Structure 1
Amino acid sequence: MRTFTTFDDLQAASGTEIGTTEWITIDQKRVNEFAHATGDHQWIHVDVERAKTGPFGGTIAHGYLTLSLVPWLGSLLFHLETPGAKLNYGINKVRFPNPVLVGSRIRSTVTFKEVVDIPAGKQLTVGHVIEIDGQDKPACVAETVVLLLAD
């Protein structure tokens, strides 16, 4: 776990890999709860029997479920304790190259791509690559943007 308490610490980490999380298993309960929360009950996610004969041989996690895990996975690797508020500003890029079959294990590698000055403080661009155990192609590649406001 890395903790960043100053903008100088953050700037020094620009362009570096922060780390890789432990593996977590994506189970059907998590997928069903995400379907319930979002209203996305497409059968490839929630109908276990039908999905067995579908294109993936079983149910798959929603791409946006995988993406929604990015903040939590990041929190396993780093904490931002810089002065002032921290705001999710947006996402520059997101791709879902490979579906996550229910029962698969995933993990995330996080990189601080860029730290730039903005009038209110710093803007941090964070790269996330979520891989699937035993697969060559990742489940999700995303680039998020965080605003770190000065006190």
Structure 2
Amino acid sequence: MPFSATEPRLLPCWEAHVDIAPTLDHGAGPDGHRFVVPILGGRFEGRLAPETASPRPFKGEILPGGFDLQRLRPDGRKELEAIYHMRTDGGVAIEVRNLVLIDYAPDGGLAYARSRIFVCAPAGECDWLNARVFVGTLEVVRPQRQVLIRSFLLA
């Protein structure tokens, strides 16, 4: 399918409900206050190759053992780097690195939370993920200790 260089589109690709542990405070550093949030697991669901005429279902689990490195910058914004693995219901392991910028509203809620998502998938049905650019959103789900990550293919 040909792509236009002048008209990029965002196509929904997957949603991930990621279970997280309590935040660990690692103190101040040269770039701001440091935190680590362990990733406990979760689920994801979406569509493989959403830019095609016949996208296929794409779902599975978020594997435990990932983490989210956070820096609360001196300007009050937060930078996150989440590193974790997803495994499809078909057994394909996919590595994800999600770089997020968060800006807070005056009431402490999220005013802006957008990301660039890097994906590393093995050869096979998910290999196309290695050849695309993904962006995302992040929402905190309360009262559960969970975040909702929505991923979009930049087509």
TM over 0.5: same fold?
Answer: no
Structure number with higher strand proportion: 2
Which structure's CA Rg is the greater one? 1
Query: Which has the higher relative contact order, 1 or 2, with Cα contacts under 8 A spaced 6 or more apart?
Result: 1
TM-score norm. by structure 2 comes to: 0.33
Structure number with higher helix proportion: 1
TM-score norm. by structure 1 comes to: 0.34
